[in-house]
Amino acid sequence: MFGNVGRVLARIREIEERFGSFTSQPQKPAGAISPSLSSSSFDRIVEECAKKYGLHPSLVRKLIEVESGGNPKAVSPKGAMGLMQLMPETCRELGISDPFDVRQNIEGGVRYLRGLLDRFGSIELALAAYNAGPGRVKAYGGVPPFAETRTFIRKVLEG
């Protein structure tokens, strides 16, 4: 039982070394990300929103890369839209009128992720909630046993 706690704490340290603290503006840069996203036309918006909500810009960029490949017009088979692949209900809750507007989508996605981090207390649970929904994380008492969700978390947290 206590060996598991040690592994969890080691994983948290590893994630924070990579992306910085999620409770304040991180000091260390994360690993390499897609060159197209780091030099994109929306990089300034990523920087602004990440700073506003106390997240590391590299985490936001990686989330965008995994969710939409940097395509602001992306639509998933399930109906998620834009760079950060926000669902229609999430857009309504966040007051997003145009999910394909780069600024609205990034601002909303980062604000949503910040709220999930505050609610669930860990980046892995917040990402699970971002992918599978907060209700499923709550129902399973942790990361749901869905291959898609587990793969999503791994891709966002890996370089």
Domain map (residue ranges) of the chain: 2-157
**CATH class as words, domain 2-157:** mainly alpha
Which residue among 48, 65, 67, 107 is the active-site one?
67
Q: What is the DSSP letter of 151?
A: H
CB 100 within 8 A of CB 73: yes
Q: Is 81 helix (H, G, I), strand (E, B) or coil?
A: strand
- Is 152's pLDDT higher than 70? yes
| pLDDT beyond 50 at 27 | no
Which segments of the chain are extended strands (E)?
none
**148 tagged catalytic:** no
Query: Cα-flanking dihedrals φ and ψ of residue 135, to 5°?
Result: -60, -35
Give Rg (Cα) of the chain. 15
Phi/psi for 81 (5° steps) reads -130, 150
The proportion of the chain whose per-residue pLDDT surpasses 90, expressed as a percent, equals 73
Q: Which residue has the tokens 């840069």?
A: 29
Are 86 and 99 in contact by the 8 Å Cβ rule? The answer is yes
> Which of 39-43, 93-97, 129-133, 134-138 shows the lowest mean pLDDT across its residues?
39-43
pTM: 0.77
C-alpha–C-alpha distance, residues 44 and 147, integer Å = 33
Q: 34-71 b/e with 16+ CB inside 10 Å = b? A: eeebeebebeebbeebbeebbbbbbbbbbbbbbbbebe
pLDDT for 42 beyond 70: yes
**Alpha carbon of residue 12 to chain centroid:** 16
- Rounded Cα gap, residues 18 and 29, in angstroms: 7
- Residue 86: strand, helix, or coil: strand
